[in-house]
């Protein structure tokens, strides 16, 4: 038995459900009750640390956790403002997508950030943005309820995370400039190439398998032999489809693993090109 692997994930909030699902789909069984700080996997040599997302980059940088799941926004902010944060993103996880953006009250006349006061929990990223664009403005660091600051005279506008946009809408704020897009990433204290623990490498491969599978679909359809070429061209991200003869003459079944999303539009196009009985099925795991 190798050494136990510790993974830090958010205890509650935007990242929690997706992070937990990723671990479970990767074969790590564990239960949480919302109170516990540590959950031990019942079937693998893995401990899960349940913490505030803001603490994850530092826990991983210090080596308290081997791996962590956190938003790119939090990692980027902490990396710009704290030298001790050395954790690196080693895998984009494709979930909890959001953006860091500037917003102002809907009745505000504000046209540029010049000489304005900006309230944000991301002072490092905002500072870099202002510097890069040669804008002179004041930044006020606020840890919570940033969206209220324009209404109590603290700031002209805010720079905050927007996911569904519900928080902005509830506070009568409108977005006017996006600073960065963000999604959840897997982080480690070193680059993926420098990870020597075979168990960690295997685990990262499993995560990758789950992430790739989430975007992939298995497509099965029937077609005339003379439309095989055209139909295969339309299958998004399919490597080498399987062609199986059908009992009916000049008819085949085409099966393909599509690594890109299969939209209704794609299916309609396939049909226009002679495909019938088109089935699109989810893929659970992929091991390449």
The distance of closest approach from Cβ of residue 22 to ligand PRP in the complex, given in angstroms and rounded to an integer, is 17
Whole-number Å distance between alpha carbons of 12 and 6: 18
Among positions 53-112, residues that touch ligand PRP (CB under 6 A) are 53
Among positions 80-139, residues that touch Zn ion (CB under 5 A) are none
Stretch that binds ligand PRP, among 128-136, 158-166, 210-218, 271-279 (CB under 6 A): 158-166
Stretch that binds Zn ion, among 46-54, 158-166, 237-245, 250-258 (CB under 5 A): 46-54
Give the nearer residue to ligand PRP in terms of CB position, either 145 or 225: 145
Contact between 172 and ligand PRP per CB under 6 A:
no
Contact between 14 and Zn ion per CB under 5 A:
no
The site partner of 160 among ligand PRP, Zn ion, none (C-beta below 5 to 8 Å per kind) is ligand PRP
Whole-number Å distance between alpha carbons of 125 and 105: 22
Contact between 164 and ligand PRP per CB under 6 A:
yes
Give the nearer residue to ligand PRP in terms of CB position, either 146 or 262: 146
Whole-number Å distance between alpha carbons of 140 and 147: 13
| Cβ-contact 8, 51 below 8 angstroms | yes
The distance of closest approach from Cβ of residue 147 to ligand PRP in the complex, given in angstroms and rounded to an integer, is 7
Contact between 51 and ligand PRP per CB under 6 A:
no
Contact between 47 and Zn ion per CB under 5 A:
no
Lookup: tokens for 48: 């899960």
Task: Count the neighbouring beta carbons within 10 Å of the beta carbon of residue 232.
Answer: 15
Stretch that binds ligand PRP, among 40-48, 162-170, 198-206, 241-249 (CB under 6 A): 162-170
CA-closest candidate to residue 144, choices 224, 34, 54, 221: 54
The distance of closest approach from Cβ of residue 247 to ligand PRP in the complex, given in angstroms and rounded to an integer, is 52
The site partner of 43 among ligand PRP, Zn ion, none (C-beta below 5 to 8 Å per kind) is none
CA atoms within 13 A on the CB side of 283: 22
Burial 15-34 (b: 16+ CB within 10 A, else e): bbebbbebbebbebebebee
Helices 123-132 and 72-81, axial angle in degrees (round to 10): 80
| Cβ-contact 130, 113 below 8 angstroms | yes
Among positions 119-148, residues that touch ligand PRP (CB under 6 A) are none
Stretch that binds ligand PRP, among 122-130, 156-164, 221-229, 243-251 (CB under 6 A): 156-164
Whole-number Å distance between alpha carbons of 2 and 160: 42
- 220 forms beta bridges with 255, 279
Q: Are strands 5-10 and 46-51 parallel, antiparallel or unpaired?
A: parallel
Give the nearer residue to ligand PRP in terms of CB position, either 80 or 167: 167
Whole-number Å distance between alpha carbons of 210 and 18: 12
Give the nearer residue to ligand PRP in terms of CB position, either 49 or 162: 162
The site partner of 161 among ligand PRP, Zn ion, none (C-beta below 5 to 8 Å per kind) is ligand PRP
Number of residues located near ligand PRP, criterion CB under 6 A: 11
Binding footprint of ligand PRP on the chain (CB under 6 A): 13-14, 53, 160-167
Binding footprint of Zn ion on the chain (CB under 5 A): 53-54
């Amino acid at each position: 038995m190798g050494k136990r692997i510790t993974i830090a994930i958010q205890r509650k909030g935007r990242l929690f459900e997706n992070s937990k699902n990723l671990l479970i789909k990767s074969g790590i069984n564990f239960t949480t009750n919302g109170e516990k700080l540590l959950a031990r996997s019942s079937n693998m040599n893995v401990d899960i640390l349940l913490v505030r997302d803001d603490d994850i980059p530092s826990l991983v940088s210090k080596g308290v956790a081997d791996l962590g799941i956190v938003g790119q926004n939090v990692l980027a902010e902490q990396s710009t403002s704290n030298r001790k944060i050395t954790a690196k993103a080693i895998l984009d996880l494709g979930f909890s997508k959001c953006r860091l953006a500037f917003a102002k009250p809907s009745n505000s006349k504000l046209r540029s950030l010049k000489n304005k006061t900006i309230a944000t929990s991301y002072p490092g990223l905002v500072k870099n943005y202002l510097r890069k664009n040669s804008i002179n403005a004041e930044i006020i660091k606020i840890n919570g309820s940033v969206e209220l600051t324009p209404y109590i005279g603290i700031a002209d506008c805010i720079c905050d995370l927007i996911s569904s946009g519900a928080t902005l809408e509830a506070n009568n704020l409108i977005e006017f400039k996006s600073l960065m897009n963000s999604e959840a990433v897997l982080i480690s204290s070193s680059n993926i190439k420098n990870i020597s623990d075979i168990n960690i490498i295997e685990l990262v491969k499993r995560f990758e398998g789950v992430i790739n599978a989430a975007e992939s679909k298995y497509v099965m359809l029937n077609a005339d032999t003379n439309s095989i070429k055209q139909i295969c061209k339309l299958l998004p991200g399919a490597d080498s489809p399987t062609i199986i003869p059908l009992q009916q003459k000049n008819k085949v079944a085409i099966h393909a693993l599509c690594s890109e999303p299969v939209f209704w539009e794609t299916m309609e196009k396939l049909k226009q090109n002679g495909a019938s009985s088109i089935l699109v099925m989810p893929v659970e795991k992929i091991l390449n």
